[in-house]
Amino acid sequence: LDAGARRVNAQLAREPQLALRFADVLGGIYTALGQYDRAIALAGAALAAHGDADDGARAALQARLGRAQYEKGDYAAAAQSADAALAAHRRLDGERSATVASDLALAGEITRRQGDFARAEPLLEQALALSRATLATPHAQIAAHLNQLAALRQDQRRVADGGELTEQALAMFRA
C-alpha cells in the first residue's frame, strides 16, 4: 500500500480532487487495518499538498482524518478534524444531508469519549434525526447512530433508554 500510495500521489500532483479521493480511500483501508498513524500521515500530507481545494473530497478526507485520530485516541485532534469536516459539508451540502449526519455523529462520539455527555447528546440526537430524515429505513447508518446514542445513554446511566435504542439498532441491522 505504501509504495502504491507514493507512486499514485506523485502521478496525481496536478489532480487535487483525485489525489484527495485516493487518500480518503487509502486512509480508510489503513484505518480498517488499525494502522492509524499511516492513515493520519497520508491524510495530513494530502490535505497539506492540496490545501486550497474547497470541495467534497477535501471535506471527506478531513472526516477520514478525524476518524483515524479518534480511533487512535487523539480526541483533541479528532475534534478539530471533525469540526472542519462538518463545517465544510454544511457549506457544500446544506444542513440536511447524510454526510452532515455522519459528521455530527463523529463529533458527538468524540465528545462522548471525552466525557462531555451533555454536549455529545444533542450532536448524536441531531445525527440520528437527520439520518432518519434523509435515508431510507432500514439503513446501516441509522442503526449505527442508534448504537452511538445507546452508548451515550449507558454512559449517562440511563440503562433502559440505552437498551431500547440498542434493540432498535439490532432490529435494523437484521432487516
d(CA 48, CA 39): 14
pLDDT single digits (tens) 26-58: 999 999 999 999 999 999 988 888 777 668 899
d(CA 90, CA 80): 15
pLDDT single digits (tens) 144-159: 999 999 999 999 999 9
Angle of helix 36-49 relative to helix 2-11, nearest 10 degrees? Answer: 10
Cell numbers 509504495 correspond to 3
Mean model confidence pLDDT for the chain: 92
d(CA 125, CA 83): 17
User: Could you list the pLDDT tens digit for every one of the 175 residues in the chain?
Assistant: 888 777 777 788 788 888 888 889 999 999 999 999 999 999 998 888 877 766 889 999 999 999 999 999 999 999 999 999 999 999 999 999 999 999 999 999 999 999 999 999 999 999 999 999 999 989 999 999 999 999 999 999 999 999 999 999 999 988 8
Instruction: Evaluate the CA torsion angle 160, 166, 172, 175 in order and state its sign.
Output: negative
Closest by CA to 122, choosing from 97, 98, 96, 104, is 104
d(CA 92, CA 97): 10
Which residues lie below 8 Å from residue 54, measured CB to CB, with a gap of 6+?
Answer: 88
